[in-house]
Amino acid sequence: MRFEGGGSGVEELSWGQRELWEAMRRQLTWMPMGYALPVPPGTTVDDAVAQLRFMMGRYQSMRTRVRRDPDGRDRQVVAASGEIDLEVVDAADGEDPAAVAESVRQRFCAADHDFARDWPVRMAVVRHHGVPTHQVVILCHLVTDGFGALVIMREIGDRDLVHGRTPAPPVTTLEPMAQARWEASPAGQREHAAVLRRWEAVLRTIPARRFPGPADPREPRHWQVRLDSPATLLAVRAIRARTTVDTSTILLALFAAAWARVSGTDPVVTRVVAHNRFRRGLAETVSPITHTGLCVIPLDGGTFDETLSTVHRRAMAAYRYAYYDPRALDTLVARVAAERGEELDLSCFFNDRRLVTRDLTEAPPPADPAEVTAALSRSRLRWHSQDKPVERLFATINDEPDTLDYELLADSHHVAPADLAACVRGMEALAVAAAFDPSVRVLEKVAT
């Protein structure tokens, strides 16, 4: 299938692209993201072709590849036109089309990605008896993020792509080449200098270490624990109704308090992932612009509600200063560490990546503590281990409609698997305890 779109050229990687590019190198993955989902009745292969052509033509991100130049620098290359395949897969008699779609999704994600040659989009349609039943879409994280994907889905849903009766308005948001040019401009560099000054001030005051040290190194080295907790969902709704604090702040406060108990560290210092779409010109961008802000959370033995207030202020400041050139930040961290005479460990991360379930206030809060406590019996703990490298500790809140699904992924040479389980269970126990009691103290032991 051929496509054409506006804008082409070669630029430096934007800061958001650079952030992901370096993470991909560290973690040895091209970070595929996407889905395998049923299609509405009546969907045709032509609909999928029109959708893919729309994506490739409208968004420069979808036409972006990366090349290594003779000077050793990696640069983004945006094409004005090209060809891309749409795969059509027929489920055989007796095969479950949903299972076939899931196998295609896994195959797309497992396949190697050539950044210089491959387009960052992989799409397939699964048919059963000649009728499309499912669609598979996989995007490379280098060219978009979760919030960018929502923009794409909304714009596709707003128009008739096959007949062209609802043309899309002109793109007004900054696209990746324009972002890179602004970042290199005097205005971009002034803002960048202010961000680095803030980081430097914080780096000079925080404790150097995040973790107590290797306690239970394992092979495979990297371990993940996930807790599916309906009780935490109900508790967070109750806390939200009682305090009016947003749910992401509540979950960050739960993580900080639980990790402080497990690790014995206070303050807790974590890098919070910021989507950055509150910035001028970036609200509707498809490009990846997520960075991390450095958030310092002192617990000081206060109540949970007092901690919520602290976390809200500290998180807002961290998000404000979460837009930078990661190469310059690495240089700054190394310089401050050398001047302090000790390594600065910044490898603790928190990411609330919920897109469709972030607003937990649509459902009413639980009526009483008994309803929350009763839900504890439905909690489910799951484990996974792998050899693929990850950060030393990465906490993630996942999208799930009827539960709170949070995971911790860690390097067991720095964080023991038992501490991961204690942390997620501690988050759940503290949420339940604080749901109706604002006097609960965050550093006191809560029965799990």
Contact 332, 192 (CB under 8 A): no
At residue 446, the pLDDT reads 43
At residue 184, the pLDDT reads 97
Contact 266, 442 (CB under 8 A): no
What lies within 8 Å, CB to CB, of 101 at 6+ separation is 36, 37, 89, 124, 126, 133, 134, 135, 136
> Residue 18 corresponds to which tokens in the numbers above?
């650079």
Question: In sequence order, what are the beta bridge partners of 295?
Answer: 270
Contact 297, 165 (CB under 8 A): no
At residue 361, the pLDDT reads 62
At residue 213, the pLDDT reads 72
Alpha carbons 387 and 220: distance in angstroms, whole number: 5
At residue 389, the pLDDT reads 87
Q: What angle do CA 61, 66, 70 make, to 5 degrees?
A: 150
Alpha carbons 118 and 231: distance in angstroms, whole number: 44
The single-letter code of the amino acid at 250 is I
Q: What angle do CA 189, 195, 201 make, to 5 degrees?
A: 135
What lies within 8 Å, CB to CB, of 269 at 6+ separation is 206, 207, 210, 294, 295, 296, 297, 346, 348
Question: In sequence order, what are the beta bridge partners of 385?
Answer: 223
DSSP string, 181-193: HHHHSHHHHHHHH
Distances (CA, A) of 389 to 25, 116, 256, 430, 443: 10, 24, 24, 30, 32
Report yes or no on whether pTM surpasses 0.85.
yes
CB atoms within 10 A of CB 50: 19
At residue 448, the pLDDT reads 36
> Residue 21 corresponds to which tokens in the numbers above?
């590019």
The single-letter code of the amino acid at 32 is P
What are the backbone angles phi and psi of residue 210, rounded to the nearest 5°? -100, -25
What does pLDDT average to in each consecutive run of 10 residues of the chain (448 residues)? 95 96 91 95 94 95 96 95 98 95 98 96 97 97 92 84 71 90 96 98 95 83 96 95 94 96 93 93 91 95 93 97 97 98 96 85 83 96 93 94 94 94 97 95 63
At residue 392, the pLDDT reads 94
